[in-house]
Amino acid sequence: MIDFVVRVLVAGVVGLIIGLFTTNARRARMFGLVTAAAALITITSTEFYKEVAGPWFSDPGRLSAQIVSALGFIGTGLIWISSDKRVRGLSVSASLWLSAIVGMLIGAGLKHMSTVAVLVVLLIYWSTETIIKWKKVDKGG
């Protein structure tokens, strides 16, 4: 039970951190919830598999696979075309999808993989922000 609680809490906190790097504080809550939910679904899926093990066939990835479909639906709602005909929200949508995948890794108990994934995500955010700031200074703006 403690392992379950720790995984869901860690996923929620990691989602909040990813959300804070991605967007404003209000949306960070959405990232935390989606990451924790992805972990919860993954945990539930693997626990169902353990319970049903026997003469019946159970696929532990079946329930977890629906996370990708659900995020496609949610992500579509985050993307829009602005009045100046520019696509907006695409990076937020991709980040939310990525945070759900990190949540799946945490929920599956894959500590090393989830740690590396979080570090890579944070490195990408940090490096792109640094490059953007550097380009603005270089242009004098």
Please say whether the beta carbons of 74 and 95 come within 8 A. Answer: no
pLDDT of residue 15: 95
Tokens of 67: 């996370």
pLDDT tens profile 47-84: 877 766 566 666 777 788 889 888 888 888 888 888 99
> pTM for this one?
0.83
Place of tokens 């804070």: 20
Tokens of 96: 């939310």
Angstrom distance (rounded) from CA 4 to CA 107: 8
What is the secondary structure of 12-26 as a DSSP string? HHHHHHHHHHHS-HH
pLDDT of residue 139: 66
Report, as ranges of residue numbers, the positions in the chain whose pLDDT lies below 50.
Answer: none
pLDDT of residue 54: 62
pLDDT of residue 57: 66
Q: Which of 92, 128, 117 is nearest to 11 (CA)?
A: 117
pLDDT of residue 141: 53
pLDDT of residue 12: 96
Q: Which of 117, 90, 92 is nearest to 102 (CA)?
A: 117
pLDDT of residue 38: 96
pLDDT of residue 78: 85
pLDDT of residue 7: 96
Q: How many whole angstroms from its chain centre is CA 77?
A: 16
State how far the alpha carbon of 132 is from the alpha carbons of 9, 114, 129, in Å. 33, 27, 5
